[in-house]
Structure 1
């Protein structure tokens, strides 16, 4: 998946925002309604273009293009012809291909995936339980996340090489917790190739795209010449204006290389809404479609979870199935409501300001649901207080993170903080305003002011009654684990501030006193300030680095940190020796102790987060 997906961590999808429309108001024609909402979104958030498709009662009722596909060429979005990169929405084709092979008896959902993997790709037996295709479909394989922001070297040129070189460690038994895994989907993609003996794209074209009439859909590392003129480009903001950039080359099809049009995706959506067939062309049996749409994993039975490859969403009292896509400056959403023959697809070719496109897609979804399936009348806010709120207070960090690599140092940037406030829980999610929550059922909470909102928070306790995990409604792709105090943001920020202040004081004292005892401390402190500056820049608000190579900042910071660790004993020894010979004033003693302590703490922190060399 593209790096923007980490910016993730799809924060905008956590809490949808209502569009500026009257709930349930269907007087305005649908085409005018959608055009008004999307046009406002593009203007307000500086997003260059979008493509939109709406299905009602099992038929396409709207296909619209908005804005520009390429601002450099002034190319408008053509609803019928313009190809958008839909990122992880393409995973739905991986899982559909898997279910076809299950239907034919060529794959088994509950069999060890090593059954179909060659020797060099076999998963290690880290845990007794094997990883199965069912685990991969719910992202519960127990994998850590491979490095995405700071990849270890250039991206491999072939899927097999990617699977060998970027294999993440297994960090938990399969089936326990969800942690969104591009690697797991890539394994499934390769298994399809192994079982069918066909390249993945060829198999999809033969078995899914051509039967459905999807003639403008492809999984390619680069865009074929015949499609270049009709392909939308991604647009980062440059000085407040969207700037077209060439499409990135993608090795792993399931992680984001899919290019398609709204009409083509409509055929795929209709197949899932019509029991696996469109216009007499069948890609799945009806029973297989029903099975695929059934929930098969959730962290809590009261929350949304995973169907077989589809995310679940609960909005306006309805169950929806779908998938988000976030990569390479594109933001997409596909949702279905099978029992009503209803669906929506939207894709934006720019993230907009503060990743607003992620909020915009959910805003559009809520606006359309409010027209077609209004939420029940709101109830009065509940006054129920939390039983023993101190049980829940603490810091929780996502399972969707790296482990054993430098990117592990970013975990505290994505944490959820829970505090007690007047008998309620105050929950602060990254990038959002803190909200108050009250207990609806044991271990299940709802917003205090808006109990009918789709948001829910559930907690899990262990056998001793200690709270261990937090889960969010409409966020099945990850869980949040309770973090130890030393891994939290306040500790990291306090360390940065305290060490920085001590190092700066030592540099100032060195310039002021200019003695042989203080000079080594000042020099060491200046070097540590440079290291600390590099660390702060690395863990600043998550903005992906460009390029495939490990960012020079990470390499420079690691090298400087290692050199600083090597110089520290010598500098402290020389300062101590010189200070004792000169009698050692109280100023020198305090400074020596402070610099020694700060250097030790910084070294321990860097080692803990794998920022001292290594992976």
Structure 2
């Protein structure tokens, strides 16, 4: 029996020191589920976090959307390499050829090539998804479909609309019927009114005097397929167990689960590759199958599978430092439960050059990079008005031998790179999995 008391102590102390009001950790080891919790769901109404507290899991929802898509593929209702226009006649992008070539696989692997972060609307109407994708012909086409992976929320919004059309029902109903119901995830919901009558966490901003409740939900209905699920840590462990092969063959078979975990696109930093749509990494000889989530820098989560060891760990939190807390929990588990201690390396750096300085457009924010390679993230006014918590400045450094990037303060791993055009000019900043186009 694993001794998780040291992990509980770590969770308690680090959550407090990092200003994370509350967190829930789920560990699946040797077929046994373990749940650890700390803190409160809200600083204003301090109910303790429990195994049943609902958190917004953010982009881990993409893997649930993908599971529903693959269920439809198994049943012959979708073709993984079929064009999106087969299912959404009249769908348009700014580039007509790209719209003709775009496939379901491109969307699942973040290789659609169009701008992936778009402003949300402000409605819970049932036609929110359909209305949102009608404006996709305004999105810049950065690359031809299939050429380059760039994290794409808008692509999963599009997949959600495909599910609606093929199933002839709202996205949330279809996914609940296809995925959540069969897996017994009865503490997972999409709508705030479902959370309102159940114990749930709220997001917090962190100021000099500590965490404060952010009075915003963080997203609206068109964003459900890319990040809208609320779930408890217990339900996340059920979901993890299924994808590790510890469940039955519904909603998808073991062969399909294996296909989803396989590498379909090789990308480089910050991941080794992308599955359907799992984000893949390697640690001390183990393949990690991962996906995290972030709702407006207010609720952040991590989700990690190690299929060869039948292991999973997930961390759900309610403030921006929860990302670092989740990474710390994951590292502890890999080292102490799987004997996979990360190797600490120090990359060789080279001096910054003025030619990398400029403004890079990521859609919902602009990254302003100065000649010292300090990146400043400037949110669009719509996000500021929605009280989205901003990103701190990031001091970057160039890795010797090319255009790869690391953190100047911790040059232990590559986190991105600059991309060049055919003329050899700096054209994109590829950071956090996203390609931001240079505009100045």
Decide whether the 8 Å contact of 1:87 with 1:325 is kept in 2: yes
2:21 corresponds to which residue? 48
Q: 2:130 matched to 1:160?
A: yes
Q: 2:411 matched to 1:411?
A: no
Q: 2:42 matched to 1:67?
A: no
Decide whether the 8 Å contact of 2:92 with 2:134 is kept in 1: no
**TM superposition shift of 1:67:** 0.5
Correspondences of 1:458-469 after superposition (within 5 Å): none
* Correspondence for 2:335 among 350, 354, 370: 370
Three-state SS of the structure 2 residue aligned to 1:319 is strand
**TM superposition shift of 1:93:** 0.6
Q: Aligned-pair RMSD on alpha carbons? A: 3.5
Q: 2:241 matched to 1:270?
A: yes
More strand by share: 2
Q: Which runs of 5+ in 1 are unaligned?
A: 1-27, 420-426, 488-615
**TM superposition shift of 1:447:** 8.7
Q: Hey, what's the Cα distance between the residues in 1 that align with 2:13 and 2:193?
A: 31
**TM superposition shift of 1:132:** 1.2
Decide whether the 8 Å contact of 1:51 with 1:64 is kept in 2: yes
2:356 corresponds to which residue? 394
**TM superposition shift of 1:223:** 2.3
Correspondences of 1:174-213 after superposition (within 5 Å): 174-213=145-184
1:460 to 1:161, Cα distance in 2 relative to 1, 3 A:
closer
1:208 to 1:43, Cα distance in 2 relative to 1, 3 A:
same
2:7 corresponds to which residue? 34
* Correspondence for 1:251 among 208, 221, 240: 221
* Correspondence for 1:232 among 193, 201, 211: 201
Decide whether the 8 Å contact of 1:84 with 1:259 is kept in 2: yes
* Correspondence for 1:455 among 414, 426, 432: 414
**TM superposition shift of 1:418:** 7.5
Q: Hey, what's the Cα distance between the residues in 1 that align with 2:134 and 2:425?
A: 39
Q: 2:434 matched to 1:478?
A: yes
Decide whether the 8 Å contact of 1:271 with 1:283 is kept in 2: no
2:289 corresponds to which residue? 321
1:193 to 1:436, Cα distance in 2 relative to 1, 3 A:
closer
Three-state SS of the structure 1 residue aligned to 2:82 is coil
Who wins on radius of gyration, i.e. which is larger?
1
Correspondences of 1:11-30 after superposition (within 5 Å): 30=3
Three-state SS of the structure 2 residue aligned to 1:479 is strand
Decide whether the 8 Å contact of 1:250 with 1:256 is kept in 2: no
Q: Hey, what's the Cα distance between the residues in 2 that align with 1:231 and 1:302?
A: 31
1:567 corresponds to which residue? none
**TM superposition shift of 1:239:** 6.5
Decide whether the 8 Å contact of 1:82 with 1:261 is kept in 2: yes
Decide whether the 8 Å contact of 1:418 with 1:428 is kept in 2: yes
Decide whether the 8 Å contact of 1:142 with 1:176 is kept in 2: yes
CA-to-aligned-CA distance 1:563-610 (integer Å, 9 cap, x gap): xxxxxxxxxxxxxxxxxxxxxxxxxxxxxxxxxxxxxxxxxxxxxxxx
Q: Hey, what's the Cα distance between the residues in 1 that align with 2:83 and 2:210?
A: 49
**TM superposition shift of 1:180:** 2.7
CA-to-aligned-CA distance 1:292-339 (integer Å, 9 cap, x gap): 111212335996231111112334443312212111521111111112
CA-to-aligned-CA distance 1:201-235 (integer Å, 9 cap, x gap): 22222222222111111122x2227x624122222
Decide whether the 8 Å contact of 1:471 with 1:479 is kept in 2: yes
1:154 to 1:312, Cα distance in 2 relative to 1, 3 A:
same
Q: 2:48 matched to 1:76?
A: yes
1:411 to 1:244, Cα distance in 2 relative to 1, 3 A:
closer
Q: Hey, what's the Cα distance between the residues in 1 that align with 2:220 and 2:122?
A: 12
1:516 corresponds to which residue? none
Decide whether the 8 Å contact of 2:272 with 2:280 is kept in 1: yes
1:167 to 1:348, Cα distance in 2 relative to 1, 3 A:
farther
**TM superposition shift of 1:179:** 3.3
CA-to-aligned-CA distance 1:184-215 (integer Å, 9 cap, x gap): 11110111121122322222222222221111
1:418 to 1:187, Cα distance in 2 relative to 1, 3 A:
same
Three-state SS of the structure 1 residue aligned to 2:291 is strand
Q: Hey, what's the Cα distance between the residues in 2 that align with 1:376 and 1:42?
A: 22
Q: Which runs of 5+ in 2 are unaligned?
A: 377-392
1:342 corresponds to which residue? 311
2:385 corresponds to which residue? none
Instruction: Tell me how many residue pairs correspond in the alignment.
Output: 416
Decide whether the 8 Å contact of 2:394 with 2:407 is kept in 1: no
1:40 to 1:134, Cα distance in 2 relative to 1, 3 A:
same
Q: 2:107 matched to 1:139?
A: no
Q: Hey, what's the Cα distance between the residues in 1 that align with 2:358 and 2:42?
A: 41
CA-to-aligned-CA distance 1:373-398 (integer Å, 9 cap, x gap): 3347667x687x97xx8999523765
**TM superposition shift of 1:244:** 3.3
Q: TM-score w.r.t. structure 2 length?
A: 0.81
Three-state SS of the structure 1 residue aligned to 2:277 is coil
Decide whether the 8 Å contact of 1:83 with 1:230 is kept in 2: yes
1:376 to 1:301, Cα distance in 2 relative to 1, 3 A:
closer
CA-to-aligned-CA distance 1:78-130 (integer Å, 9 cap, x gap): 11x111111111111101111111121111122211111154x4445533552
Q: Hey, what's the Cα distance between the residues in 2 that align with 1:187 and 1:63?
A: 35
1:104 to 1:370, Cα distance in 2 relative to 1, 3 A:
same
